[in-house]
Amino acid sequence: MIETQLHMWLVFGFIAVAMYAFASDKIELEISAVAVIAGLLLLFYIYPLEDKDGNTLLTAEEILAGLADPALITVLSLLVVGQGIVRTGALEKPIRQLVTLRRHHPVLAIALVLTTVLVISAFMNNTPVVVIFIPLMTALAERLHRSTSTLMIPLSYASILGGMTTLIGSSTNLLVSAAAVQAGHDPIGFFDISIPGMVLAGSGLLYAMIIVPRLLPDREAVTDKGPSLSGKQFIVQLEISPDSSLVGETPVAGQFPSLKNITIRFIQREDKLLLPPFDDMTLRPYDSVVFAGTRKSLTDAFADNPQILQDFMLGDEQGETEAIQKSSVRDQTLAEVVIAPASRMIGRALHQISFQHQTGCVVLGIQRRSRMIRTSRMTDIRLEAGDVLLLLGKRQDINELRKNPDVLLLEWSTRELPALALSLRARLIFAGVVISAATGLVPIVVAAVTGAAAMVASGCLNIHQASRSIDRRIFLLIWAALGLGTAMQATGGASFLAHQALDLLNGSGPAVILSIFFLLVALFTNVLSNNATAVLFTPVAISMGVQLNVDPMIFVFAVIFAANCSFATPMGYQTNLLVMGPGHYKFMDYFRAGAPLVILLWVVFSIFAPLYYGLI
């Protein structure tokens, strides 16, 4: 008994050190996680945990079993599925249409966007959802003449709240379910937490929409003079092919709908030069449209109408060979290059150097930093040193430009374009994963792994993109947390903590104990992390339920909701860190906005849960 207690206290020591290491920025999280696993293996090898008959109670295989835990595999697979959604831009067009509803009801527009984030986060990993919505929320703030600092934290909170409502909404939920299964309980169903989750999420969303913007400072965006935010325009020339989506398009209020926020200089039609306004004309095959646009306006046009890219990929009328065939536009990357001072391209026009044929990259536009280019056609512009070319090409071809002495690749400028032609496939795969898991057709781990494999097999992701979507920090942190949870369960640490908590609350009813337990877990999740807190407290929750003679799953559900209350610190949840830069936040901004939200959800849970679960 004494030896068992010694093992228990040693594990508690490991947990304390791990909590400090995970919360500290002094040690890389990956190193801390691996060190925790290594320490547990050494401890129980040198000083094994044995029963009275000398049988080993905790082996190396059991400590390492988290590596193959279905919950961990599910989380990693869902990250791949989510990356497929992001990579194909499957949500971009619907979201853009949503943002256009902002015109007459700005408050309603923000509420609609945050509600959409909450709903999507119920079925998709929170991190890619926030990544998708950050630029859209920034654009919405600009159009509503509001500071981004009043909207970014609500965006993160909405995604976290959405994760509370279904089993796959957050990795935390899946890990708690796995820990409950390890303790001998049935796995949590897809919608088992949905009703209390929606009550908490609804309360939190109202707070995030109405109160949080009033608590946050109205900081103006810090001016970044870096080239990545340059608003200078590129001169672009677009040759319209016979089967182009632009054929037959007519202008509305002087602008063509497919070329929004782009200034059309003129249209060359055979020997005629058509100048604005273009109110009484339609675009025809072989028209040459010359316009000026920023990189952002160009990428927005490509996102809304991916077929436009095909017109660029055909080559120009000067006889440019079709180095990039009119086929798939997947795996395309945008980049900018500068004409080098001693470049052989200086003084020559694009059609004279056969740039597309030599490099495999299409020149979309030319930018001259010294002055505005005033010429008839992009292909007639004679290049000068310092000119910037906006290029479209495969990542491999873009990378090859590093070796080209004639141009200097601007590394910061390379961005993969969403493979919008594959967005329908990605939506179908994602829907299949959600429906299969929600209906119980197959186990969640089977649906998630199959969905991840389908994303790669269908071409929505290549194997390198899929592997990059797996965050090793999440992987190693969950592995370490599962190892600590197993050790705490085996040494009796979970039962000990439950006994101590019940002794302190001696005479209190289950409803009071459940409320205090929720608050305790909510405090820990903001200091440690949601995943580690969930795994460590699930065994304690089960022990408390057993000793109170109530359904242990009620306390397990409390762990899910409380561990998701990562609102009061930036390191509490990854999405909080994602919005820290765009919102220009400081540490105290999260505490000012998030601490009252934690208290609010604690109060709502303390009132609703006992009634819903019949504890009073």
Residue 143 confidence (pLDDT): 66
Same domain assignment for residues 145 and 294: no
Render pLDDT for 325-367 as a digit per residue (tens, 0 to 9): 443 455 678 888 999 888 889 888 887 888 888 888 888 888 8
Would you state the pLDDT for residue 94?
Answer: 67
> Does the structure show a pLDDT above 60 at 14?
yes
pLDDT of res. 427: 87
Most confident listed range (41-55, 95-109, 406-420) = 41-55
526-552 pLDDT per residue, tens: 866 677 778 778 888 898 888 889 999
357 and 267 in a single domain? The answer is yes
* pTM flag (> 0.85): no
CATH code for position 286: 3.30.70.1450
User: Is the pLDDT score of 451 beyond 70?
Assistant: yes
Which segment of 45-49, 313-317, 497-501 scores lowest on mean pLDDT?
Answer: 313-317
Q: pLDDT class for 370, splitting at 50, 70, 90?
A: low
Chain mean pLDDT for the chain: 81
Domain membership of residue 400 (yes or no) is yes
Residue 35 lies in a domain: no
388 occurs within a structural domain: yes
Residues 205, 88 within the same domain:
yes
Average confidence (pLDDT) over 440-459: 89
Pair (411, 437) in one structural domain:
no
- Considering only CA atoms, give the Rg of the chain: 28
What mean pLDDT comes out for the span 142-148? 74
Are 282 and 164 contained in the same domain?
Answer: no
**Does 391 map to a domain?**
yes
Averaged pLDDT, 474-490: 79
What pLDDT was estimated at residue 520?
A: 87
pLDDT tens digits for range 203-237? 999 999 999 988 988 765 443 334 444 457 888 88
Q: Do 213 and 99 reside in the same domain of the chain?
A: yes
Number of domains in the chain: 2
The 3-state DSSP class for residue 24 equals coil
Domain coverage including residue 294: 242-325+330-416
Q: Cβ of 253: how many Cβ atoms within 10 Å?
A: 7
Is residue 276, in this structure, part of any structural domain at all?
yes
- Which tens digit of pLDDT belongs to each residue from 496-524? 877 787 788 777 889 999 999 999 889 88
- The answer to whether the CB of 89 falls within 8 A of the CB of 420 is yes
Q: Based on the fold, state whether residues 101 and 246 are members of the same structural domain.
A: no
pLDDT in tens, 589-602: 888 999 999 999 99
Last residue of a domain, one of 401, 416, 431: 416
The confidence score (pLDDT) of residue 81 equals: 86
Average pLDDT over residues 120-142: 77
| d(C-alpha 351, C-alpha 357), whole Å | 10
Please report which confidence band the pLDDT of residue 303 belongs to, taking 50, 70 and 90 as the band edges: low
Please give the pLDDT value at position 493.
79
Across the range 109-125, mean pLDDT stands at: 87
Strands of the sheet with 234-239, listed across from one edge: 272-274, 263-269, 288-293, 234-239, 362-367, 388-394, 332-339, 407-416
Q: What is the pLDDT of residue 220?
A: 56
Q: Are residues 274 and 370 located together in one domain of the fold?
A: yes
**Under 8 Å between Cβ of 200 and 565:** no
Whole-angstrom distance, CA of residue 288 vs CA of residue 269 = 7
Residue type, 580: M
Q: Is residue 164 part of a domain?
A: yes
Q: Are residues 268 and 348 in the same domain?
A: yes
pLDDT tens column, 147-184: 888 889 999 999 999 999 999 888 889 889 888 888 78
Confidence of residue 38 (pLDDT cuts 50, 70, 90): very high
pLDDT beyond 70 at 571: no
Q: In terms of pLDDT, which residue wins out, 118 or 328?
A: 118
Query: What is the predicted pLDDT for the residue at 313?
Result: 56
- Is 451 in the same domain as 308? no
- Cβ pair 599, 568 in contact under 8 A: no
- Which tens digit of pLDDT belongs to each residue from 278-302? 777 888 888 888 888 788 777 777 7
Looking at the structure, tell me whether residues 265 and 386 fall in a common domain. yes
- The more confident residue out of 82 and 341 is 341
Separation between Cα atoms, residue 346 and residue 231, nearest integer Å:
25
Question: Facing residues of 266 across strands?
Answer: 290
pLDDT at 486: 80
Least confident segment among 87-96, 193-202, 454-463, 572-581: 87-96
Contacts 24+ apart (CB under 8 A), 276-285: 277/251, 278/251, 278/254, 279/251, 279/254, 281/250, 281/251, 282/248, 282/249, 282/250, 283/240, 283/246, 283/247, 283/248, 283/249, 283/250, 283/256, 284/240, 284/247, 285/240, 285/241, 285/242, 285/244, 285/247
Shared-domain flag, residues 247 and 381: yes
Q: Is residue 254 part of a domain?
A: yes
